[in-house]
Structure 1
Amino acid sequence: MTRLVVKEIVAGFVAEITDFPVHNMDEQVAIDLRNAWTKYPVLRFRNVPIGDAEQIAITKALGPIFLTTNVQHGKREDSPEIFVIANKKNPDGTPAGDLGDGEVQWHTDHWWIKQPPSAALLRALEVPPAGGNTYWANMYSAYAALPDSMKARLRGLYIHHQDVLDISGAPRRGKEMPASKDFAAWSGVDHPIVMRHPASGKPCLYLGAGRERQVIVGMRQDEASELLDQLWQCATSPDHVWHQEWRPGDMIIWDNRCLLHRRDQFDPRSVRLMHRTTAQGQRPVAAA
Structure 2
Amino acid sequence: MTEAGLKTRDIKPNIASEVLNSKEELLTGRYSAEIRDLLEQRGVIVFPGIAFTDEEQVAFTRTLGSTARERTGEEVFTVSLDPEKSTGVEYLKGAFYWHFDGVIQAKPILASLLSAKVLPPSGGDTEFCNTYAAYDALSDEDKQRFADLRVIHSNWAPLLYHTPEPSQEQLDLFASFGEIELPLVWTHKSGRKSLVLGCTATQVVGMDRKDSTLLLNRLREWATSEPFHYSHKWSAGDMVMWDNTGTLHRATPYPLNSGREMHRTKLEGEEPIAA
TM-score with structure 1 setting the length? 0.80
**Pairing 1:161–2:163 present:** no
SS of the equivalent of 1:168 reads helix
Which digits, 9 at most, give the CA deviation of each residue in 1:55-112, with x for residues without a partner?
112222332222234xxxxx6x7xx00110123453xxxx546448967111111213
**Residue number among 169, 190, 197 corresponding to 1:207 in the alignment:** 197
Distance 2:172 2:76 in 1: 21
**In proportion to residue count, which structure has more helix?**
2
Matches within 5 A, 1:66-105: 66-69=68-71, 80-88=74-82, 90=84, 95-96=85-86, 98-99=88-89, 104-105=96-97
Q: Residue type matched to 2:273 in 1?
A: P
- Segment drifting more, 96-105 vs 142-151: 96-105
CA 1:275–1:34: 2 relative to 1, 3 Å: same
SS of the equivalent of 2:135 reads helix
1:118 paired residue number: 110
2:171 paired residue number: 171
1:196 paired residue number: 187
1:139 paired residue number: 131
Q: Could you tell me how far 1:121 is from its partner in structure 2?
A: 0.5
**Residue number among 220, 231, 239 corresponding to 1:243 in the alignment:** 231
Q: Residue type matched to 2:124 in 1?
A: G
Q: Contact (CA 8 Å) 2:27, 2:56: kept in 1 or not?
A: no
Q: Could you tell me how far 1:255 is from its partner in structure 2?
A: 0.5
1:28 paired residue number: 30
Extract unaligned runs of 5+ from structure 1: 70-74, 178-186
Distance 2:172 2:8 in 1: 40
Q: Could you tell me how far 1:176 is from its partner in structure 2?
A: 5.3
Distance 2:109 2:147 in 1: 24
Runs of 4+ in 1 over 6 A off after TM superposition: 100-103
2:164 paired residue number: none
CA 1:192–1:246: 2 relative to 1, 3 Å: same
CA 1:210–1:49: 2 relative to 1, 3 Å: closer
Which digits, 9 at most, give the CA deviation of each residue in 1:247-287, with x for residues without a partner?
0000000001111111111123432110011111121122x
CA 1:147–1:45: 2 relative to 1, 3 Å: same
Of all paired residues, the percent bearing the same amino acid is 28
Matches within 5 A, 1:214-225: 214-225=202-213
1:127 paired residue number: 119
Distance 1:62 1:218 in 2: 40
Distance 1:153 1:106 in 2: 23
User: Aligned-pair RMSD on alpha carbons?
Assistant: 2.6
Number of corresponding residues: 260
CA 1:99–1:89: 2 relative to 1, 3 Å: closer
Q: Residue type matched to 2:80 in 1?
A: A
CA 1:232–1:175: 2 relative to 1, 3 Å: closer
Q: Contact (CA 8 Å) 1:22, 1:49: kept in 2 or not?
A: no
Distance 2:147 2:192 in 1: 14
**Pairing 1:60–2:62 present:** yes
Q: Contact (CA 8 Å) 1:115, 1:283: kept in 2 or not?
A: yes
Which digits, 9 at most, give the CA deviation of each residue in 1:179-199, with x for residues without a partner?
xxxxxxxx5222211112345
